[in-house]
Amino acid sequence: MSDLRIVYEPYAGQDLRDVVRNGISFFNIAVTGLSEYYPVAFFVTSEEGEARGGLLGSIWGGWLCVDLLWVAQPLRGQGYGSALLAAAEKLAFERGCHSVLLDTLSFQAPAFYHKHGYQTWGVLDDCPTGHQRIYLRKSLLA
Protein backbone atom coordinates (compact mmCIF):
# COMPACT_ATOMS: atom_id res chain seq x y z
CA MET A 1 0.00 0.00 0.00
CA SER A 2 2.98 2.34 0.06
CA ASP A 3 2.30 3.33 -3.56
CA LEU A 4 -1.15 4.75 -2.75
CA ARG A 5 -1.76 8.44 -2.16
CA ILE A 6 -4.59 10.84 -1.43
CA VAL A 7 -5.33 13.08 -4.43
CA TYR A 8 -7.55 16.18 -4.44
CA GLU A 9 -9.75 16.19 -7.58
CA PRO A 10 -12.54 18.80 -7.17
CA TYR A 11 -13.55 18.44 -10.82
CA ALA A 12 -13.13 14.69 -11.11
CA GLY A 13 -14.75 13.10 -14.12
CA GLN A 14 -17.82 10.94 -13.89
CA ASP A 15 -15.71 7.78 -14.15
CA LEU A 16 -13.84 8.57 -10.92
CA ARG A 17 -17.02 9.61 -9.14
CA ASP A 18 -18.68 6.35 -10.23
CA VAL A 19 -15.90 4.32 -8.58
CA VAL A 20 -16.89 5.77 -5.21
CA ARG A 21 -20.65 5.63 -5.85
CA ASN A 22 -20.48 2.04 -7.08
CA GLY A 23 -18.21 1.01 -4.24
CA ILE A 24 -20.64 2.18 -1.56
CA SER A 25 -23.62 0.89 -3.54
CA PHE A 26 -22.17 -2.62 -3.80
CA PHE A 27 -21.39 -2.57 -0.08
CA ASN A 28 -24.94 -1.42 0.77
CA ILE A 29 -26.45 -4.10 -1.46
CA ALA A 30 -24.28 -6.80 0.12
CA VAL A 31 -25.35 -5.80 3.62
CA THR A 32 -29.08 -5.19 2.95
CA GLY A 33 -29.87 -7.37 -0.05
CA LEU A 34 -31.67 -4.37 -1.56
CA SER A 35 -30.36 -4.04 -5.09
CA GLU A 36 -33.01 -1.94 -6.85
CA TYR A 37 -31.60 1.54 -7.36
CA TYR A 38 -33.07 4.15 -9.67
CA PRO A 39 -31.66 7.57 -10.49
CA VAL A 40 -34.29 10.29 -10.52
CA ALA A 41 -33.99 13.26 -12.88
CA PHE A 42 -36.87 15.52 -13.90
CA PHE A 43 -36.41 18.81 -15.74
CA VAL A 44 -38.37 21.91 -16.73
CA THR A 45 -37.26 22.68 -20.28
CA SER A 46 -38.01 25.35 -22.86
CA GLU A 47 -39.17 24.49 -26.38
CA GLU A 48 -35.50 24.76 -27.41
CA GLY A 49 -34.54 22.16 -24.79
CA GLU A 50 -32.92 24.63 -22.39
CA ALA A 51 -33.13 23.43 -18.77
CA ARG A 52 -34.93 26.02 -16.61
CA GLY A 53 -35.25 23.85 -13.53
CA GLY A 54 -34.98 20.33 -12.29
CA LEU A 55 -35.04 17.74 -9.54
CA LEU A 56 -32.23 15.23 -9.05
CA GLY A 57 -32.18 12.34 -6.64
CA SER A 58 -32.36 8.59 -6.30
CA ILE A 59 -34.61 5.76 -5.18
CA TRP A 60 -33.23 2.98 -3.00
CA GLY A 61 -34.41 0.97 -0.04
CA GLY A 62 -37.99 2.23 -0.11
CA TRP A 63 -36.93 5.89 -0.04
CA LEU A 64 -36.81 8.71 -2.54
CA CYS A 65 -33.81 10.86 -1.67
CA VAL A 66 -34.08 14.31 -3.26
CA ASP A 67 -30.60 15.75 -3.68
CA LEU A 68 -31.41 18.95 -5.57
CA LEU A 69 -34.52 20.88 -6.59
CA TRP A 70 -34.10 24.16 -8.43
CA VAL A 71 -36.26 26.42 -10.62
CA ALA A 72 -34.91 29.49 -12.42
CA GLN A 73 -35.88 32.76 -10.74
CA PRO A 74 -38.28 34.02 -13.47
CA LEU A 75 -40.30 30.79 -13.23
CA ARG A 76 -40.62 30.61 -9.45
CA GLY A 77 -44.10 30.84 -7.96
CA GLN A 78 -45.70 29.36 -11.10
CA GLY A 79 -46.00 25.76 -9.88
CA TYR A 80 -42.95 24.26 -11.56
CA GLY A 81 -41.27 23.30 -8.29
CA SER A 82 -44.48 21.70 -7.07
CA ALA A 83 -44.85 19.83 -10.38
CA LEU A 84 -41.26 18.55 -10.21
CA LEU A 85 -41.74 17.38 -6.62
CA ALA A 86 -45.09 15.72 -7.43
CA ALA A 87 -43.58 13.91 -10.45
CA ALA A 88 -40.71 12.56 -8.35
CA GLU A 89 -43.05 11.49 -5.54
CA LYS A 90 -45.33 9.73 -8.05
CA LEU A 91 -42.42 7.85 -9.59
CA ALA A 92 -41.14 6.91 -6.15
CA PHE A 93 -44.53 5.60 -5.06
CA GLU A 94 -44.84 3.59 -8.29
CA ARG A 95 -41.39 2.10 -7.55
CA GLY A 96 -42.57 1.01 -4.09
CA CYS A 97 -41.20 3.82 -1.95
CA HIS A 98 -42.84 4.58 1.36
CA SER A 99 -41.06 7.88 2.14
CA VAL A 100 -39.05 10.85 0.88
CA LEU A 101 -35.93 12.35 2.45
CA LEU A 102 -34.37 15.72 1.59
CA ASP A 103 -32.62 18.71 3.07
CA THR A 104 -32.76 22.43 2.39
CA LEU A 105 -31.14 25.54 3.79
CA SER A 106 -33.00 28.04 5.95
CA PHE A 107 -32.74 30.68 3.18
CA GLN A 108 -33.90 28.30 0.45
CA ALA A 109 -37.27 26.57 0.67
CA PRO A 110 -38.33 25.13 4.05
CA ALA A 111 -41.80 26.71 3.79
CA PHE A 112 -42.23 25.25 0.30
CA TYR A 113 -41.58 21.73 1.58
CA HIS A 114 -43.78 22.20 4.67
CA LYS A 115 -46.58 23.32 2.33
CA HIS A 116 -46.18 20.00 0.51
CA GLY A 117 -46.53 17.88 3.64
CA TYR A 118 -42.87 17.51 4.63
CA GLN A 119 -41.97 17.44 8.30
CA THR A 120 -38.72 18.68 9.79
CA TRP A 121 -36.88 15.95 11.68
CA GLY A 122 -33.53 17.63 12.18
CA VAL A 123 -31.81 21.00 12.09
CA LEU A 124 -28.09 21.68 11.90
CA ASP A 125 -27.22 25.19 13.07
CA ASP A 126 -24.46 27.28 11.46
CA CYS A 127 -24.47 25.22 8.28
CA PRO A 128 -23.47 27.50 6.62
CA THR A 129 -22.48 30.01 9.29
CA GLY A 130 -25.46 32.08 10.35
CA HIS A 131 -27.97 29.74 8.73
CA GLN A 132 -29.42 26.26 9.19
CA ARG A 133 -29.52 23.04 7.19
CA ILE A 134 -33.01 21.60 7.65
CA TYR A 135 -33.69 17.88 7.19
CA LEU A 136 -37.21 16.89 6.13
CA ARG A 137 -39.16 13.75 5.41
CA LYS A 138 -42.56 12.82 4.06
CA SER A 139 -44.52 9.59 4.08
CA LEU A 140 -45.91 8.57 0.70
CA LEU A 141 -48.36 6.15 2.32
CA ALA A 142 -50.64 8.71 4.01
Q: Give the tens place of pLDDT for each residue, 19-71.
A: 998 999 999 999 999 999 999 999 999 999 999 999 999 999 999 999 999 99
**pLDDT tens per residue across span 58-93:** 999 999 999 999 999 999 999 999 999 999 999 999
Question: How many CB atoms are closer than 10 A to CB 29?
Answer: 15
Q: Are 68 and 88 in contact (CB under 8 A)?
A: no
* pLDDT mean over 81-109: 98
Quick one: pLDDT at residue 104?
A: 98
Range of the domain at 95: 14-139
Q: Is residue 117 included in any domain, yes or no?
A: yes
Q: Is residue 47 included in any domain, yes or no?
A: yes
* Count of the separate structural domains present in the chain: 1
Q: What CATH number is associated with residue 121?
A: 3.40.630.30
